Structure 1
Amino acid sequence: MVEYKVVETSLVTDDALEEILNTWTARGWHYDGMQFAMREASKRPAMAFVLFTRKPSQNA
């Protein structure tokens, strides 16, 4: 069995994404991917969804 974590952010900058990655991997989650939601009038993403997985702990 696998647990999934999705972290949504509307602040799509390198610093914001690095903070999310560093925070959740330090908590034992493994980075699994990233998806972006685009704006029609801009080439810059409006939102990002950072995906993580982990095996559930035995105590959970």
Structure 2
Amino acid sequence: MQYKVVEIANVTDEEIEKILNQWTAEGWTFDTMHFAMRESSKRPSMAFLTFTRDDG
């Protein structure tokens, strides 16, 4: 199994959609999404999306 981690610095719904569509179109399967938060903001400062795909 292969893993792909994509970091998003500009966390918007449009950017998340773009990344999800880009990597799933290339054969990767979405796995998880994690957010890094700032103490001074309610919005995430970064997001990390992970994808997987079979080696074969």
Q: Specify if TM > 0.5.
A: yes
Q: Report the TM-score when normalising by structure 2.
A: 0.97
Tell me how far 1:56 sits from its aligned partner: 1.2
**Which ranges of structure 2 fall in alignment gaps of 5 or more residues?**
none
Tell me how far 1:24 sits from its aligned partner: 0.0
- Structure 1's consecutive aligned runs of 4 or more residues displaced over 6 angstroms after TM superposition are none
Aligned length: 56
- Identity among equivalent positions (%) equals 61
**Which ranges of structure 1 fall in alignment gaps of 5 or more residues?**
none
Aligned partner of 1:15 in structure 2 is 14
Q: Report the TM-score when normalising by structure 1.
A: 0.90
Tell me how far 1:18 sits from its aligned partner: 0.1
Q: Distance in 2 between matches of 1:28 and 1:3?
A: 11
Aligned partner of 1:37 in structure 2 is 36
